[in-house]
Amino acid sequence: MKITFIKTLFFVAIITGLGATAQAENLPRGQQVVSSKTISKPTYVQEYQAITEVLNKYIEGCKQAKSSIMKPAFSQHATMYSVGADGKLAGGAIPILFDGVDKDFRLSPDAQAAIVRIEIVGKAASARIDANDMSGISFTDFFHLLKVEGKWTVVSKIFHTYPNH
């Protein structure tokens, strides 16, 4: 009975694989099958690049210590939160970030920042940025973005800062 069950599973796996191969061969170039739905690689690449442009505005604003550079990346309704040294939730409306950058940040042209990951699902995305020595601070940011009226915008940011050594 065990052998019959294993043979059946093996047979189903082969048939499923053949079906996916046949389906893939019928697709135009540059497309692939994922969960029986067709996605276009160029569309994903365009969305990825658009999100990268938004995130780079934030990075450049931090490096130049000018919130005016990063403001276009954020929705006016965006929020920013972290956990303070006292272990309590700290943050609120996004102008807190802009005020902090303008008042407390300093020019950091040599700071290192990397967009570590971007995940996109339809009109929603999340991203992670790691930054070292940005105005003397190292941190990890997590962003949530939405594509609103055809344009990607950050709607929330949470972050963790690392102690300076």
Q: pLDDT tens digit string along 5-52? A: 444 444 444 444 444 444 444 444 444 444 445 555 557 899 999 999
Residue 1 has pLDDT above 60, yes or no: no
Q: What is the pLDDT of residues 119-141, one digit of tens each?
A: 999 999 999 999 999 999 999 99
Domain hosting residue 125, numbered range: 40-162
Give me Rg for the CA atoms of the chain: 22
Distance CA 158, CA 45 (A): 25
Residue 82 CB partners (closer than 8 Å, separation 6+) = 90, 91, 158, 159, 160, 161
Asked if 21 and 88 sit in the same domain, the reply is no
Asked if 71 and 121 sit in the same domain, the reply is yes
Give residue 37's pLDDT. Answer: 52
The CATH number for 66's domain is 3.10.450.50
What is the pLDDT averaged over residues 60-73?
Answer: 98
Total count of domains within the chain? 2
Give residue 126's pLDDT. Answer: 98
What is the pLDDT averaged over residues 147-154?
Answer: 97
Contact 59, 131 (CB under 8 A): yes
Give residue 2's pLDDT. Answer: 52
Asked if 21 and 98 sit in the same domain, the reply is no
Between 8 and 110, the higher pLDDT residue: 110
Asked if 28 and 58 sit in the same domain, the reply is no
Asked if 17 and 45 sit in the same domain, the reply is no
What are the E-state strand segments in 10-136?
Answer: 31-34, 37-40, 74-83, 89-93, 112-121, 124-134
Residue 80 has pLDDT above 90, yes or no: yes
Give residue 44's pLDDT. Answer: 85
Asked if 109 and 150 sit in the same domain, the reply is yes
Give residue 43's pLDDT. Answer: 78
Asked if 56 and 11 sit in the same domain, the reply is no
